[in-house]
Structure 1
Amino acid sequence: MQIEAVRAIPFSIPYKKPLRFASGQVDVADHVLVQVVTSDGVVGNAEAPPRPYTYGETQASIVAVVRDLFAPAVTGLSVLDRELARARMVRTVGNPTAKAAVDMAMWDAWGKTVGQPVHRLLGGFTDGLQVSHMVGFDDPDVMAAEAARIRAEFGITSFKVKVGRRPIHDDVAVCRALREELGPDVELYLDGNRGWTSSESADALRRLADVGLSRVEELCPADDVLGRRWLVERCDVPFVADESVPTPADVTRELLAGSATAISLKTARTGFSDSLRIAYLAEGIGAEVVIGNQIDGQVGSACALAFGAALRSTSRYAAELSNFLDMADDLLTEPLRIERGRMAVRPGAGIGFEVDEDKLRHYRDDR
């Protein structure tokens, strides 16, 4: 189980249409496949999605930091030496998705080595999750029609609505159109990606009081310390921290400061090892956790599924696992499936997927 090599393979897959939100726009999934290769010939896989406008990482920077710093740091360790690997990688500031991918690839290699699903190694609470789908910026009728199509085709009844535009009445109109189209039994919640001020956020929530939102996420920047706290105190639904909590320490700060009441946990950002820390921390302090999505491909979504279904606290709510539906293709030999609004945990050892080598050769950027 000794690590012999760590690979960082850049690949690019176009989206069927751009995904637009307050902090940026994504046209191509220019991600990195991270592989941990052991002395037994086992290959563990995970995906690192760069988000330069959120964490400062790019595809090139992820490849470089894995190749030049993290690979030398963990080569020679056992795949069981996750805490030692974490301690060595944490010496490098930032680079959350690169660190997370190395960590998850080590877990995948361990599961494959011992012939066990990572989902069970992490806790094995349930065999699948309800799925939530993200709806990006567009006109109200377009967003409502997309949500209706996703519900009809996949049975999904939970939707994250991207907001944060100015003027706010554009997003208010979208939410009303979605509620009118989908009816009262579908879950709607907002993600502002820090696009509004605290006062704009409060105004939007007043206007949407009758829409029936289940929660809101990152409506304003966490750096607006007093304004954010003021807003959270007045918010009558859970206020979820996402970009503002990339580490367990950040989770502690935001919750204890009254700047959030719930946490979006993203395995693309915290891997499995730090995600466990965050989940247990939130459980101990009494904060709810939802499984978020970093606009992952199917590799990353399979990782999020394995973790979310492993614990009771992370399996309570619909998980954001469907953004890959907007991609033109993916890397798996057997695609993920959503049936009746639910995604089942993949069978087999490790995280439960295999990379299609032909597709990887076709989409990789370092040929």
Structure 2
Amino acid sequence: MRITGIEAVPYAIPYTKPLKFASGEVHAAEHVLVRVHTDDGAVGVADAVPRPFTYGETQASVVAVIERIFTPQLVGEDVFARERIHGRLHRTVGNPAAKSALDMALWDLAGQSCGRSVTELLGGHTDRMRVSHMLGFDAPQRMADEALRVRDTYGIAVFKVKVGRRPVGLDLDVCRALRSALGDEAELYVDGNRGWTASEAAAALRELDELGMTLAEELCPADDVLGRRWLVAQSRIPFVADESATTPAEAARSLLDGAATAISVKTARTGFTHSQRVLFLCEGLGAEVVMGNQIDGQLGTVCTVAFGAAHAASSRRAGELSNFLDMSDDLLTDPPVITDGTLAVRDGPGLGVVIDDAKLARYRQDR
């Protein structure tokens, strides 16, 4: 099965409300649908999710690097020659979203070829994951109201709380409002997107300790080397590296240098192949992982649960799998459905998805 062509289709779908956090805010899913075509007529798909304020990629840069650099390198290659393909992609520095989408589309093709789901190919541990819902910046009561709505509608009992604003007191008020509204049975954890200093984060963690937070993610910049190490050393809960650990090497440095004790794995950033490498590294070092969310739509969410459910270590915690609910529309003919706080792996070979071509035509940005 050889690659005959690659499409990179930019599209934009508005969110029902902006998602705000310390490193930026998004008003629309400005993504790139990647389709890899083969000589036997099969098509593998994946979503590239650029985040310019985190990784430097834009929608235009993803399209350009795929069309001008990666496609000429990959046309004619065997779909199953992933190591050789990654060697060619690695010649170009950066571009994690573009590379990850290509990798996941190849895994989709591999699954289609042998009649197995991507989850089965990767490990086949379970068929579903518990879901965590991510709450962006808002007033305390509005964030509490959203959490209650999501809990009552979808059965979700795990919430990631975006913090990192100044004054810190507003974020503490949000966490208190959430705990009061949801009660002790809900799991809450915080993500600062590097918005606090180390000293602010340390003071906040002392205040948050009584609220039973289970994780703390990127509360201060990893580039603040001594401050981050000092903060992690005194944290009583796992401290998660996310945007500071975007490769297996960065994850290893974060854990060995004391800059983190857990790692967020995002298939939108490391695909399936390199996400496995990050995951196995964490297992070897005894570090926990959480399946993160790059504000994915339906297709990105399908990829995340496909990977997370495949392994025991990545399915242990709830995955961030619900933010496609914040989109005003989407591209799949058969949307994911969250039931009793869980999301199931798709049936069918590969990723098991079908793109609605009429919706893609409506939202694409290149025509």
Q: Give TM-score scaled by structure 2 length.
A: 0.99
Offset at residue 22 of structure 1 (A) = 0.2
Paired position in structure 1 for 2:238: 238
Secondary structure in 1 matching 2:314: coil
Deviations 1:306-328 (A, max 9, x none): 00000011000000011110000
The one-letter amino acid of 2:50's match is P
Length-normalised TM-score, structure 1? 0.99
Using the TM superposition, give the Cα deviation of residue 297 of structure 1 relative to its aligned residue in structure 2, in angstroms. Answer: 0.6
Rounded Cα–Cα distance in structure 2 between residues aligned with 1:128 and 1:362: 32
Deviation track 1:221-269 (CA, whole Å, cap 9, x = no partner) reads: 0000000000000000000000001100000100000000000000000
Q: Which amino acid aligns with 1:275?
A: S
Q: Does 1:349 align with 2:319?
A: no
CA distance in 2, matches of 1:222, 1:74: 35
The gaps in structure 2 that reach 5 residues or longer are: none
Between the aligned partners of 1:4 and 1:203, the Cα distance in structure 2 is 56
Determine the structure 1 residue equivalent to 2:166: 166
* Alignment partner, residue 138 of structure 2: 138
Aligned-residue CA RMSD in angstroms?
0.5
Aligned to 2:290: 290
| Displacement after TM superposition at 1:207 (Å) | 1.3
- Report the alpha carbon displacement of residue 109 of structure 1 after superposing the two structures with TM: 1.1
Which residue in the other structure is 1:227 paired with?
Answer: 227
**What is the SS of the residue equivalent to 2:15?**
strand
Instruction: Report the Cα offset of residue 352 of structure 1.
Output: 1.6
- Mapped partners of 2:122, 2:7: distance in 1: 24
Paired position in structure 2 for 1:32:
32
Q: Which position in structure 2 is the counterpart of 1:67?
A: 67
1:269 matched residue in structure 2: 269
Task: Find the residue that maps to 1:16 and give its secondary structure.
Answer: strand
Residue by residue over 1:270-289, the C-alpha shift from the partner in whole angstroms, topping out at 9 and shown as x without a partner, is 00000010111110111011
> Which amino acid in structure 2 is aligned with residue 216 of structure 1?
A
Q: Secondary structure at the match of 2:339?
A: coil
| Displacement over 4 Å in runs of 4+ | none
- SS in structure 1 opposite 2:338? coil
Distance, in Å, in 1 between the alignment partners of 2:289 and 2:188 is 17
One-letter code aligned to 1:154: Y
1:349 shift after superposition: 0.6
Distance 1:209 1:215 in 2: 11
Aligned to 2:190: 190
In 2, the alpha carbon distance for the partners of 1:217 and 1:245 equals 11
Residue in 1 that maps onto 2:153: 153
Q: 2:125, 2:70 → 1: CA distance?
A: 32
In 2, distance between residues paired with 1:117 and 1:341? 22
Other-structure match for 2:119:
119
Q: Which amino acid aligns with 1:206?
A: R
Counterparts of residues 266-345 of structure 1 (less than 5 Å): 266-345=266-345
Q: Provide the C-alpha distance between the structure 2 equivalents of 1:288 and 1:207, rounded to a whole number of angstroms.
A: 24
Instruction: Provide the C-alpha distance between the structure 2 equivalents of 1:87 and 1:197, rounded to a whole number of angstroms.
Output: 38
- Aligned-pair CA distance for 1:6: 1.0
Residue 122 of structure 2 aligns with an amino acid whose one-letter code is L
Give secondary structure in 2 for the equivalent of 1:360.
helix
Partner of 2:215: 215
Could you tell me which amino acid in structure 2 is paired with residue 311 of structure 1? H
